[in-house]
Amino acid sequence: MTRNSSSAFSIRTALPGILPVSLFAALTGVGAADVAAQQGDAVHPGELIVEPPTLISLGFEWYIEGDRNRNAEVAVMYRQVGEPDWRDGMPLLRLHGERTVLWQTLDYTAPNMFAGSLFSLEAGTDYEIRFELADPDGVTGEAVRTVEARTRSEPMPYEGGRVFHVYPPGHAGGRQAPAFMGLLAAYYSEAIGGDWSRASPPRVRPGDTVLVHAGIYKDDRSNYSHEILSDFATCCATPWDGTYYLTQGGTEDRPIAIRAAGNGEVIFDGDGNDVLFNVMGADHLYFEGITFRNTRTAIEAGRKGIAGARGLTVKHSRFEDVGVAIHSDWSGSGNYYIADNVMIGRHDPDSLFGWFGAPWTQLPGFETRRRLRSYYAVAVYGSGHVIAHNRISGFHDGIDHATYGMPDGYPHTPRDRMPVSIDIYNNDVSNVHDNCFEADGAMHNIRIFNNRCFNAATGAMSPQPIFGGPAYFVRNVVYNGIFGPLKIHGDPAGVLVYQNTYIGELSQLTPASNIHFRNNLILGQGAREAVFAIDTHTNYSSSDYNGFLPNPDSRIAYQWNSPSDGQAPDYESERETRQFATLAEYAAATGQDRHSRELDYSVFRDVPRPDFSDPTRLVDPDAYDFRLRARSAAIDTGVELPTITDGFTGNAPDLGAYELGTPRPHYGPRPRTR
């Protein structure tokens, strides 16, 4: 067993004291030793939280008191229950006092704690995790904690439930019993539409499956008499808004499943309505193999401050001609599984355009005046969500954690309303007006990894804001995005940017706190001068072991704005601006990126510099090969990041998203196995 003690994780600073320990003790009668733990440099461990698990990740929070000088650390080890050997995990990230302030809307201060995640776990598996808290100034209390946690399994229909067969209007072939015309006729006991659409009690119960047979399911919303008739002549008993209101839910082990029967395409057509499926009143609904089309919002699962669903599953389905595919910004939502879907918005499939008036889009020929037709493919809020292996194009945004605002009830946010522990991975997103991925509004352990983002007009990935963190951006590939790979806005705190291949300059709209970069490839594309321009409130932000390509003849290639050396975090004053023409000057003056290097596009097998002579042009993601060339400057020059670089093939991890000699990730939907 080895433990990584790299400086990549030894992130330390001093925070200003409030009162001297002796004075505080005299005023309060509390013992000096206890005060040292609560207010001083020694650390006193508090509550350890295991966040809601996902399929392949686990997130943790450990609250503490003391450690005013921020030199405490938490080492993590883990193993499957029953295995003899421990493995190293990434040490937890230290948080304390980082502020997120924006306009009159946001004002958040991170608590005194550690937080972090384990990646690359097995689904449906029990793990034992060991945490060891260490501090040169002493630990008063239990320094070692061991917990057990189980990852979730992929949601599946219940095999022992009843099965109902649904057919479209005009179906003339054979029918399997029990047979119903239209989904609502099976879901409710007497779905007769019109004024009576809300009168029928549910027929389905947890564990049931509704098998929907091939055909088009589309109501005539202008027909006053669109009831269910015995001859299967009309469909489908929705109210006159054409919305399927599903209010009977299942359980985690026994969802109510609505599945394509497998005898052809199943299409639910909204006829241009506002919402096709409203599932805000039902937990643990399961959709598979369905095509949703011709509606503003295909699945509405929650509204902030009103209501929402938990345990929603949407798999191997298709969304086309929609304004929004799946939406919920209800803070109590959790444990969604949205995977292996294709989502196609209404934006021009042959041209890229961006925000009207945004300065970074003012390139010759760039169009910004076209109207928004599709908002986002997926937007969620809450905890435990998994959004994986989807293919998305033609929206304003791809996959979003809802910006939302302050967490509910802050500073006393209930555990079940905290936006934590969310996985977004192996998605393939292209042709977006704004961002491919947004981590906006999350608190701890949102993980965006192994994704591909092409053709993003206004920043590929967004932590806007993050409340404390960590927010992980790991092993993502970004190309053909004018603004660049990361749109940092809203004073986020706790952002970890590891092992990405980013084509485009990295700059910020607002400062960030407690932000760290390791093992990235960041190559200039000529859209702005500096290839790497960081603005941080905290001197313990850090960057190292990266590969950069400055733009030719840049007067300023690197920039690092922060409080003056040795100063505490400062959220009010202007930061000291430091600009440099060379990597050597930048590293010597700031202490950042001392092990980083400069390289060029020749490190890849086949990736040219983006061509913005026509900035509306879309490029094909499959036309580029981002695998590294053997013996290039990106090989064996990274630092070990436990659970992220495990299994590297050389003397050290390679830079960027792809390790030499390992298979490329599969982006987008996987083949169905049943």
Instruction: Write down the H helix ranges in 176-294.
Output: 183-187
Using pLDDT thresholds of 50, 70 and 90, give the confidence band for residue 194.
low
Average of per-residue pLDDT values in the chain? 89
- Work out the percent of the chain whose per-residue pLDDT is above 90: 77
Tell me whether residue 62 is in a domain. Answer: yes
pLDDT over 90 at 2, yes or no: no
Helix orientation angle between 32-39 and 21-28, rounded to the nearest 10 degrees: 120
Q: Is 415 strand, coil or helix? A: helix
Helix (H) or strand (E) holding 35: helix 32-39
What pTM was estimated for this model as a whole?
0.92
Q: How confident is the model at residue 464 (pLDDT cuts 50, 70, 90)?
A: confident
Classify the C-alpha dihedral 657-659-661-666 as positive or negative. Answer: negative
Sign of CA dihedral 512, 645, 76, 444: positive
The candidate with the shortest Cα–Cα distance to 547, out of 526, 518, 521, 523, is 521
> What confidence tens digit (pLDDT) does each residue in 70-104 have?
999 999 999 999 999 999 999 999 999 999 988 77
CA 492/CA 441 separation, integer angstroms? 9
**Coil, strand, or helix at residue 22?**
helix
Reduce the secondary structure of 520-537 to three states and give it as a string. CEEECCCCCCCCEEEEEC
- Termini Cα distance of the chain: 40
Task: List b or e across 3-31, with b for residues whose CB sees 16 or more CB atoms inside 10 angstroms.
Answer: ebeeebbebebbeeeeeebeebbeeeeee
- Provide the CATH number for the domain around residue 83: 2.60.40.10
Q: Could you tell me the residue range of the domain that residue 113 belongs to?
A: 21-150
Range of lowest pLDDT (123-127, 191-195, 406-410): 191-195
Q: What is the pLDDT at residue 414? A: 97
Q: Is residue 89 part of a domain?
A: yes
| 401 part of a folded domain | no
* Vertex 269: Cα angle to 265 and 273 (nearest 5): 165
At 357 the pLDDT is: 47
Whether 98 is in a domain gets the answer yes
Q: Is residue 419 part of a domain?
A: no
The verdict on residue 115 lying in a domain is: yes
Residue at 658 is within a domain = no
pLDDT digits (tens, 9 = 90+) for 541-561: 999 999 999 999 889 999 999
Angle at 74 between CA 72 and CA 76, to 5 degrees: 165
Please report the pLDDT score of residue 14 as a whole number: 26
Residue 50 lies in a domain: yes
Domain count, the chain: 1
Q: Tokens standing for 632?
A: 């290039």
CB contact at 8 A, 265 and 219? no
Q: In the prediction, which pLDDT does 241 show?
A: 87
The answer to whether 384 touches 335, Cβ cutoff 8 Å, is: yes
Calculate mean pLDDT across residues 362-367.
52
Each residue's pLDDT tens digit, 222-270: 665 544 444 444 455 677 788 999 999 999 999 999 999 999 999 999 9
